[in-house]
Structure 1
């Protein structure tokens, strides 16, 4: 079984997708203490809870695959567009540092779609050239969760798969689109009562009249856009965000038998394609759980890519791991 270590693990969505595809996850790293609680509630392998700058190569076991959903804020349309000028952007080079030291057979990266066009494409070019200069062959593709993961969410992300062996690279293809069969009511409970704190009430919401006037259908998701209600007419959830639990215009809203409410954290994880048995801790604030869901990945998309990676590795019977000298060119 191919072994895997995960960087910037969050709550373990990438690791979960690879496990579902048959990989053996043996180690991961995550800096956020609250995300780590959720991670350890659902995974049994070793999790190093620390800043990646403090992770030494000898702490990582020998692995076949190294993954990293490195922080996307520096490249997000919603962020400051600073890219590598932002400290978070420089975290890619921490991944590269460990790639050079551990020389995994495969490197898997996930980020926001805007990474591709940031700084007229220069940011993404630097990332690809850095990996290529160390002997890796790269394939990348932007995939939408509702088209490639059968989840009712409009979530476009860039996926990068880098192979140390050219034969692996040549045998790998990204998965194709699949029909969207999951509906919003498959992942959201429109019928049953949930905790009162999720409902909007006229005495506690100054814009409740606008919500009541415009939010009238169970067939869609709405958003409060500071001054007006926006109906998402595509039949899927808009992209979940890390700050949707802090209020404002990022909160997905629904109409139910018991009133107008925001999504629960569990429903947000459902929309990301997490399995029903994925556990959320009781002792972590709701805002952190929303952040964890918004920062995470569409698990079924990762699982489908991972399955194709495994097929490519399985098909290459002549693979021989290169020695360190072949990956130790200067950055």
Structure 2
């Protein structure tokens, strides 16, 4: 059997969920070879480098694909410098102008690296905060919404050197489809079609197409340059064939694989919710009655009373009420779950109630933590902040879903 690896470039790589899905995908001796990845966030970059050995090109993709952005910045500083009154202010702008000059050299080099190889597949989970229900849904009015345009610019740059990538693979929040009455996605699709791609898209829920116990609906967009390839890719038309139906008992087995039930208050006290730490979340009826009505919340919260079942996930919604996930799986992990207790899912364990650990959130996304994938413990000689890991897991993709689609793409690419 011949082996062949298709080359892959990865934008907005985060902690490498899409990369890992492609890296582990195989079909009849075919696979993928990751050439480069790009990520702007330094902490995510650290987690990425910890787990992959190919080239991570760190930096702002907008500047990599369009060096004129830095030139425009520099021109603006030159104009301001010529107008300011004091020497002190002039020195300040002179420094900024010199910084732009250095940046031009750095980003020219980054662009060279990205364009150094022919890419068969270009992928990216482009920033979704602009379209997300959890964000403010500003779409293209939000700077992050326009990062999509960098994908178009890169396709054109690659085309001028090697030809366009044969396949595009993009991921985003489900809400992208309905954002601004469907107009946002229409613009995205038409721009990709203008570059010559035949676009297919599908919203898939992680819990329905993998063994991960997480409710996570995302849109997956696949683009093919060749009509023949597009016709062979029938996965989204026959999606029922890939559906995984789970019983409650099977869900429990899957949950046991991601949750560390050996963790106790002694070994992981910081994850536990107790009355001492969170008195507002353990109010008895008696205590509630004693609170003057004007100070009382409408709903009395008592986690001990609300969180009663093991192998289930609960959420403390905005610190106002407790809700059990009705699908017997974990609710969608979010990027802001590291910013406060009320965003991270809660579970009942033998010795109390606790939130998920960063390791568990990564496992809920399908990262094989402890089995080929490791979370960093240090960043620039300081302890690595767990809030960053929670954010990274919330922003990540579900690896098995990526692998599934990547393998279906390999079936198409097989000559």
Gaps in structure 1 of 5+ consecutive residues: 318-331
In the other structure, the counterpart of 2:400 is 300
1:145 lines up with 2:206 in the alignment:
yes
Secondary structure of residue in 2 paired with 1:55: helix
| 1:9-48, Cα deviation, whole Å (9 max, x unpaired) | 0000000000111211110000000000100000000001
CA contact under 8 A between 1:149 and 1:301: conserved in structure 2? yes
More helix by share: 2
For residue 207 of structure 1, the aligned residue among 280, 285, 295 is: 280
1:286 lines up with 2:378 in the alignment:
no
In the other structure, the counterpart of 1:71 is 127
In the other structure, the counterpart of 1:184 is 255
Gaps in structure 2 of 5+ consecutive residues: 26-30, 66-110, 159-163, 283-301, 379-383
Structure-1 separation of matches of 2:64 and 2:198: 26
CA contact under 8 A between 1:25 and 1:45: conserved in structure 2? yes
In the other structure, the counterpart of 1:32 is 41
Q: Offset at 1:121?
A: 0.5
Structure-2 separation of matches of 1:287 and 1:235: 26
Structure-2 separation of matches of 1:254 and 1:248: 12
TM-score, length basis structure 1: 0.92
| 1:116-165, Cα deviation, whole Å (9 max, x unpaired) | 00011110000110010111101100000001122100000000000111
| 1:181-204, Cα deviation, whole Å (9 max, x unpaired) | 452222112343241111112111
1:17 lines up with 2:21 in the alignment:
yes
Q: If you compute each CA radius of gyration, which structure gives the higher value, 1 or 2?
A: 2
Written as runs of structure 1 = structure 2, the 5 A alignment for 1:108-187 is: 108-174=169-235, 176-180=242-246, 181-182=250-251, 183-187=254-258
In the other structure, the counterpart of 1:198 is 271
**Greater mean deviation of Cα atoms: 116-125 or 99-108:** 99-108
CA contact under 8 A between 1:190 and 1:255: conserved in structure 2? no
Q: Offset at 1:258?
A: 2.1
TM-score, length basis structure 2: 0.74
Structure-1 separation of matches of 2:40 and 2:332: 24
Written as runs of structure 1 = structure 2, the 5 A alignment for 1:218-297 is: 218-225=310-317, 226-276=319-369, 277=371, 278-283=373-378, 284-297=384-397
Secondary structure of residue in 2 paired with 1:74: coil
Q: Offset at 1:231?
A: 1.2
Runs of 4+ in 1 over 6 A off after TM superposition: none
Structure-1 separation of matches of 2:402 and 2:234: 13
CA contact under 8 A between 1:272 and 1:299: conserved in structure 2? yes
Q: Offset at 1:178?
A: 2.2
Q: Offset at 1:248?
A: 4.8
Structure-1 separation of matches of 2:137 and 2:321: 27
Computed over aligned residues only, the root mean square deviation of the Cα atoms, in angstroms, reads 1.3
Structure-2 separation of matches of 1:197 and 1:173: 47
CA contact under 8 A between 1:184 and 1:235: conserved in structure 2? no
For residue 152 of structure 2, the aligned residue among 79, 96, 103 is: 96
**Greater mean deviation of Cα atoms: 301-310 or 98-107:** 98-107
